[in-house]
Amino acid sequence: MKFTSVWILGVSLLVFPASGVRAQNASAGEPTLLADLLTEAEKNNPQIHAARHGWQSAKQIPAQLATLPDPQVVLQQMNVGSPRPFAGYTNSDFAYFGVGFSQDLPYPGKLRLRGEIAEKDADATQQKVESVRRAVLAAVKMTYFQLGYLAKRQKILDEDGQLLQQVEQASESRYRSGLGNQQDVLQAQLERTKLLREINMNQLEQGKMQAALKNLLNRSQASADIETAEISESTPAYNFDQLLAEAKANNPDLAGMQKMVERQGLQVDLAKKDFYPDFNVQGMWQRTDPSQYRAYYQFTVGMRIPIYRSRRQRPELAQAESERDRAKSEYEMQSQQTAFQLRQQFLGAAKSTELLKIYREGLIPQARAELQAGMAAYQSNRQDFQALLASFLDVLKLDEEYWQTLSEHETALAQMEEVTGVTLR
């Protein structure tokens, strides 16, 4: 930013270039469409990748838990009178060699329930992937709209810098003709300096938003800045009841919590199964001196008896039932929270639509007409400088508020898209 200083009646004043203040970091490239950035984020965002890998990992668990424990194989060898392995049968009639196996058998239904519980966990993890994906895409949209607003605000500040220069020139002209005073000139210069501050702050916000967007896209922070297209108003073709129905049917957070309710129900069933015994089967083949004795065959069935029910099984069942009830309450809470958030976003989008119309058809044209009339009145000595300056500040403020409201409107739609999964633009 370059400016020079001149002296009027011994007072140093800042003089800005007639072309207006321009952002130093403005991008000269073609605007990037939001749809292209969404595709890039879904492809490259590491948070989405991490969630998908977590789901792929969770899918491997059900088969493991639904499978019987590995069997055990036992080798036995007994000598009498000699510690040397396999000393032979000649030392004693009691020497033998044996091969056996054992297998744990949980009570029927336990393995199936454990596998189904793990499947519910995997299903909940899958919903988490969708939740993360939507959150990242919503963040890309909101950052894009904020960048679009800041870019438009930069243009507004540039254009109003030129407009303010006209006000300054009018004050200087009146001062030279003896109709105005030095305070008016100084006030105009002060407003120009304030405008420079606003431009610098706007550039800072643009830099922060650029960094945030590159982070979401997994781009290098040293890469070129992203030029956004101008924001336009979207009109969704859904009413609130339709959006709420879509949210209940498609919201991944609700779906994930529903899976957890089902999981905890299965956990209750598994806790009830723990009141029944588990089994163990064993088989053994033994070989003594084959010239004198035949082989021995042994088969054994063992049983684990749950005799400490009051201290183990009943507390386990009570815990599972409490966890099931907690999951149901959390699902209901999330359902209410989703409806509440959706209602807020819907009302915000509806009210911002009305505000945009008021700005577009009323406030902004009226403020500009007032400024033009005030400029003419000031130049003909029919209005004071403070009234003219107030008219200019009204134009600047209303222009900025319009584009900020438009950004907030599109942001509300992006948040509703995240909740419902439908496209609203």
CA-based nearest residue to 121, from 285, 281, 257, 324: 257
The pLDDT of residue 179: 60
What's the whole-number average pLDDT of the chain?
85
Residues 79 and 210 in one domain: no
The pLDDT of residue 288: 80
Residues 304 and 223 in one domain: no
Query: How much is the average pLDDT of 94-105?
Result: 89
- Please state which of the ranges 10-24, 298-312, 359-373 shows the lowest mean pLDDT: 10-24
Q: Does residue 3 fall inside a structural domain? A: no
Q: Does residue 324 fall inside a structural domain? A: yes
Structure tokens at 211: 């960094």
Residues 197 and 241 in one domain: yes
* pLDDT-derived band at 309, boundaries 50, 70, 90: very high
The pLDDT of residue 82: 67
Residues 232 and 212 in one domain: yes
Residues 242 and 299 in one domain: no
- For residues 409 and 164, the model is more confident at 409
Residues 262 and 396 in one domain: yes
- Please state which of the ranges 268-272, 354-358, 381-385 shows the lowest mean pLDDT: 381-385
Residues 79 and 174 in one domain: no
Q: Does residue 22 fall inside a structural domain? A: no
pLDDT at 202 over 50: yes
pLDDT at 91 over 60: yes
- How far apart CA 81 and CA 388 sit, in angstroms, is 119
The pLDDT of residue 383: 65
Sheet containing 96-105: order of strands: 72-78, 96-105, 278-287, 296-304
Contact 159, 237 (CB under 8 A): no
- How far apart CA 319 and CA 228 sit, in angstroms, is 54
Residues 138 and 122 in one domain: yes
The pLDDT of residue 14: 37
Query: How much is the average pLDDT of 225-233?
Result: 91
- Please state which of the ranges 177-181, 220-224, 238-242 shows the lowest mean pLDDT: 177-181
- How far apart CA 48 and CA 70 sit, in angstroms, is 36
- How far apart CA 320 and CA 314 sit, in angstroms, is 10
Residues 202 and 320 in one domain: yes
The contacts of residue 389 (CB under 8 Å, 6+ apart) are 167, 187, 188, 191
- DSSP 8-class letter at 112: H
Q: CA of 51: how far to CAs of 75, 122, 127, 208, 386, in Å?
A: 46, 12, 10, 26, 59
- For residues 20 and 201, the model is more confident at 201
Could you list the residue range(s) of the whole structural domain that residue 194 is in?
34-68+106-274+312-420
Residues 184 and 242 in one domain: yes
pLDDT at 64 over 70: yes
Q: Does residue 21 fall inside a structural domain? A: no
The pLDDT of residue 85: 67
Residues 77 and 217 in one domain: no
Query: How much is the average pLDDT of 276-301?
Result: 88
The pLDDT of residue 414: 95
- DSSP 8-class letter at 360: I
Domain boundary among 287, 308, 329: 308
- Please state which of the ranges 20-24, 56-60, 338-342 shows the lowest mean pLDDT: 20-24
- Please state which of the ranges 59-68, 234-243, 334-343 shows the lowest mean pLDDT: 234-243
The pTM of this model reads 0.81
pLDDT at 16 over 80: no
Provide φ and ψ at 410, rounded to 5°: -70, -35
pLDDT at 195 over 90: no
* pLDDT-derived band at 412, boundaries 50, 70, 90: very high
Q: Where is 303: in which H helix or E strand?
A: strand 296-304
CATH no. for residue 367?
1.20.1600.10
CA-based nearest residue to 336, from 277, 248, 274, 406: 248
User: Looking at this protein, which amino acid is placed at residue 302?
Assistant: G
310-369: per-residue pLDDT in tens? 999 999 999 999 999 999 999 999 999 999 999 999 999 999 999 999 999 999 899 888
The domain tally of the chain equals 2
Query: How much is the average pLDDT of 58-71?
Result: 95
The pLDDT of residue 21: 34
Provide φ and ψ at 80, rounded to 5°: -125, 125
Rg (CA), the chain: 39
Q: Does residue 28 fall inside a structural domain? A: no
Domain boundary among 308, 329, 351: 308
Torsion angle of alpha carbons 139, 145, 150, 154, nearest 10°? 150
Q: Does residue 14 fall inside a structural domain? A: no
Residues 138 and 152 in one domain: yes
Q: Does residue 213 fall inside a structural domain? A: yes
pLDDT at 182 over 90: no
Q: Does residue 29 fall inside a structural domain? A: no
pLDDT at 13 over 60: no
The pLDDT of residue 140: 97
Percent of the chain, pLDDT > 70? Answer: 84
Domain boundary among 291, 308, 325: 308
- How far apart CA 273 and CA 110 sit, in angstroms, is 7
- How far apart CA 264 and CA 268 sit, in angstroms, is 6
CA-based nearest residue to 419, from 310, 341, 334: 341
> What angle in degrees, to the nearest 10, is found between the helix axes of 182-217 and 110-177?
160
